[in-house]
Amino acid sequence: MQQRPRAPGRIGEPWAVLGAAAACGLFFLLGGEAAAFPGQASRLGGADPQGAATRALTAIHHNPAMLATMPGTRYHGSFDLGLDHRWIRRYVAGEDGVGGADLDDRVTLLNPTTGYFAAASINLEPFAVGAAIYDLGSTYLLDSHPQLRYHLAPEPDRPPGLCGRASGGACALNGGAATVRTDLSLAVAWDIVGRLRLGLGVHFPRLRSRFAYDNSTVIAGSHVAEAAVRCNYVENPRCAERLGFNGRTRWLPETATRAAGFDLALTLGVAFEVNDRITLGARFRTRPLLRGGEITLAGDAIVCRPDDRDLADNTEVQSCSVVTEINASLTQRMPQEAAIGASFVIGPSRLLRLDTNLSWIDLCADTLDGAKGVRRCSDPGTQRLSLVGLDPNSAILPESVRYRGLQDRFSLDVYTSYRPRSTLTMIIGGHTSTRAVARAATSAALMDGWRLGLTLGAALRIRQSNLQIIPGYGFDWTLPARVRPDEAAYDPTAGAAYAAAGGDLKSPAAAAILEGRGRPSNAGYYNGVAHTFMVALRWAERGIGVD
């Protein structure tokens, strides 16, 4: 139901004071995430309120049923840019690779964050349709350090943008990591009867992934034959092979060796207006439908020595400076998700609005016995990597897995917006979310733990037009996490245990190797903050700033 404009009330009214006090309490008790785990809608569309019951074009993702509550034609576009600041201290590892009692010097990583959202809708009463394309929690880890090379390799000397086919393109895969997730979404909503609305969204996910990290040939059981270089300890830099991958989903097959990864997911949404002040909403999004929830990325990979010394014999792989790319593919499982939300109009002058959103992302697959949980997973986000044309001298297998240790993520967002005048709306949001990566699996490449966040923004109406500009700022704190050597998910002793078991794949000692956890330890202390600056433009044919 379209709301009629109300005259602005006085800021000193008791309800406004109480509302402001309640909002301040929420800011400190709660904590979106500027560098959220890929796939999470984090401040989608900027600093605007959002959720499963919010009247905004972000409903194309959050709950398509809400499109039927917004009259006329609407457009919304936003862009954000920020800085992800991380502090990491690894436990000093011994010759066996196991961390000792002391922490190494602190490493500081600075990485960019960015995102965008563009959408439009039209209400044809009783139907409404909308379309959007947007970034969905992409991460860019372009900065690293030699201490962290076994989970996030440092960038090469040359920027990847300067790497061309003349150099084989290999240096573009030789360091850093990035996961770019974008969705193209179409939605339709139906004002079915009275205050009930139904919605259906169709999403076409696209994923691009790039990562590089070193593997210890000591753990893999492959020793350098050169007499002058004895691989007698796990983290010997002369005994490492770097694995780099860069791939993306391709809607059409490029070649016979690059499979297509076209897929789609559905969102089912429902919204109900209890009265003209309270709206409730809920949605459920499926996994990609065509491949049982899995998505394939086709691309290139390199396996090489990160140092530039000359080959002593023909038993080593090439240096990363001269190595040639090979074809590769990566398969991973995509999550399903659900959310519920409520929106409240508060006060006699209806100038205060509260929007809430509680969501769940199913990053952790069912357990082997069929039970569901966030700690016991049959598939904790494992990525399966296939390498075509791998150097036979490599200690890496042509078919291997990349363990990530994911678990289900729950998040809560609360937005308070207050309109002191017809041309200005103040926005404050609080956010909190559980960890997406199990604490024991936290590493430089994946340290998505508990987060608290704050959003500040203002919707400024351009004179008496229907155009608004919405600048905003977001702050996020990843709560400190300590991974002790005796509880780290990555086990540097796995190779020795597997060899002692005679290389029997059915032995308990093979479990860590088969799961991709047979790598140098991730034990350390992790902490970080992120700053995000946002700007959005919003235009509505009618009802802007009111509904």
What SS3 string covers 329-391?
A: EEEEECCCEEEEEEEEEECCCCCEEEEEEEEEECCCCCCCCCCCCCCCCCCCCCEEEEEECCC
pLDDT attached to residue 82: 94
Q: What does pTM read for this prediction?
A: 0.86
Domain covering 14-161+187-207+258-293+334-363+406-462+479-485+521-540, topology: Porin (2.40.160)
Amino acid identity for residue 341 in this structure: G
CB neighbour burial string for 232-262, b if at least 16 within 10 angstroms, e if fewer: eebbbeebbbbbbbbbbbbeeeeeeebbebb
Distance CA 531, CA 80 (A): 10
Q: Which of 239, 220, 217 shows the shortest CA–CA distance to 228?
A: 239
- Per-residue confidence (pLDDT) for residue 289, from 0 to 100: 92
Digit-by-digit pLDDT tens for the chain (547 residues) are 333 333 333 333 333 333 433 433 333 333 334 445 676 777 999 999 999 999 999 999 999 999 999 999 999 999 999 999 999 999 998 888 888 888 999 999 999 999 999 999 999 989 999 999 999 988 999 889 999 999 999 876 555 444 444 444 455 678 889 999 999 999 999 998 878 999 999 999 999 999 999 998 888 765 444 433 567 788 888 888 999 999 988 887 666 566 667 889 999 999 999 998 999 999 999 999 988 888 889 889 999 888 766 555 566 788 888 888 899 999 999 999 999 999 999 988 889 999 999 999 998 876 545 555 555 677 888 999 999 989 888 888 899 899 999 999 999 999 999 999 888 999 999 999 999 999 999 999 999 999 999 999 999 998 878 899 999 999 999 999 999 999 999 999 888 787 777 777 777 778 888 888 989 999 999 999 999 999 999 999 876 654 4
pLDDT of residue 505: 73
Q: Is the dihedral angle over the CA atoms 140, 142, 143, 149 positive or is it negative?
A: positive
Distance CA 87, CA 148 (A): 12
Nearest to 215 by CA among 185, 194, 235: 235
